[in-house]
Amino acid sequence: MTDVLDSSVLSDEGKKGGADCEVKNLLDPSEFRPELKDVAEFRDFSESKRIDIVRDTYQKMYRNQCVNYVQDMHKKWCKFDHANLTIMEALEELNKLVDDSDPDVDVPNIFHAFQTAERIREKHPNNEWFQFVGLIHDLGKVMALWGQPQWSTVGDTFPVGCEFSDKIVFHEMLKDNPDYSNTDFNTKNGMYKEGCGLDNVLMSWGHDEYMYQVLKHNKSTIPEEGLYMIRYHSFYPWHMGGAYDHLMNEKDRGMMKWIKEFNQFDLYSKSDAEPDMKKLTPYYQSLCDKFCPGALEW
């Protein structure tokens, strides 16, 4: 069994909200997903160094993201005692996060937030909550500014506590996971009942789950469809690979269309021109005031 690495201690700066943190390069390994056959249009895979970085991130993820670890992260991060920030202040924090492994875009994550929101706005001009979801869907990445390792912040998500699917990217590395040989967790259903629904499934810890929990804790008025998009937009083994259907219930299957609708804007907005954030901010501030006003507990 591989020991779980203890990389979750917050820095002093993180405990203060990260206001004085230096710019950090943030890898997003999910963007190198090999099953995306047309991803070469957006990503250049010829640089082996980048692929090595991605593989290393997933290897660390798979060595650590077990049932015990995920439960510990829920206890740690769901105290919501890391910072008090408005949505716009949290977006400004994303200015400190740059995806160092993205060969196409070397701008802060905040640009992607506005790009995604604006693409949604073009197609869904009357759906304000959908636009707002586009703006905030990656805000959980602020964990990286408060000491959370990248392998527990970015990348694809997957269920823990049951058999790992071969649809999980770099799934061969999962043999190093602490739960891989645990007979309580390595069967098809593991610790779950068939058809239990994703609400009852423990997912690997990352920015998706954290942002969902922040929104629920702060009583956001985003409808359930929007919260669902945020919580599962990185669960590619399911909504792209078709895995884990045996754990789904009718609610999950009904929500699939929303996940797929959202991901077309998330995945393919990073080639867009940089948005004029100064011009756009008043509009999106009005959405913040509507769906998630004031300072939030993070």
Q: How does pLDDT run across 121-137, given as a tens digit for each residue?
A: 999 999 999 999 999 99
CA distance 90 to 118: 18
| Interacting residues of 65 by C-beta distance below 8 A, sequence separation 6+ | 151, 152, 158, 160, 177, 204, 205
Tokens of 164: 């790992």
Q: Among residues 185, 181, 204, 187, which one has the least CA distance to residue 69?
A: 204
| Interacting residues of 82 by C-beta distance below 8 A, sequence separation 6+ | 10, 14, 15, 17, 146, 298
Q: How does pLDDT run across 156-191, given as a tens digit for each residue?
A: 999 999 999 999 999 999 999 999 999 999 999 999
Tokens of 135: 């703006």
CA distance 71 to 58: 19
Mean pLDDT across 277-289: 96
Q: How does pLDDT run across 47-100, given as a tens digit for each residue?
A: 545 678 888 889 999 999 999 999 999 999 999 999 999 999 999 988 877 543
3-class DSSP assignment, residue 24: strand
- Range with the lowest mean pLDDT among 10-14, 61-65, 225-229, 288-292? 10-14
CA distance 157 to 231: 10
**Are the C-beta atoms of 21 and 96 separated by less than 8 Å?**
yes
CB-CB neighbours of 245 under 10 Å: 10
Q: Among residues 57, 238, 228, which one has the least CA distance to residue 158?
A: 238
Top pLDDT among 87 and 14 is at 87
Q: What are the helix (H) ranges across the chain?
A: 12-15, 48-64, 67-77, 87-93, 109-123, 128-136, 207-217, 224-232, 236-239, 250-267, 277-291
| DSSP sequence for 189-255 | STTS-TT--GGGSPBPPSHHHHHHHHHHHTT----HHHHHHHHHTT-HHHHTT-TTGGG--HHHHHH
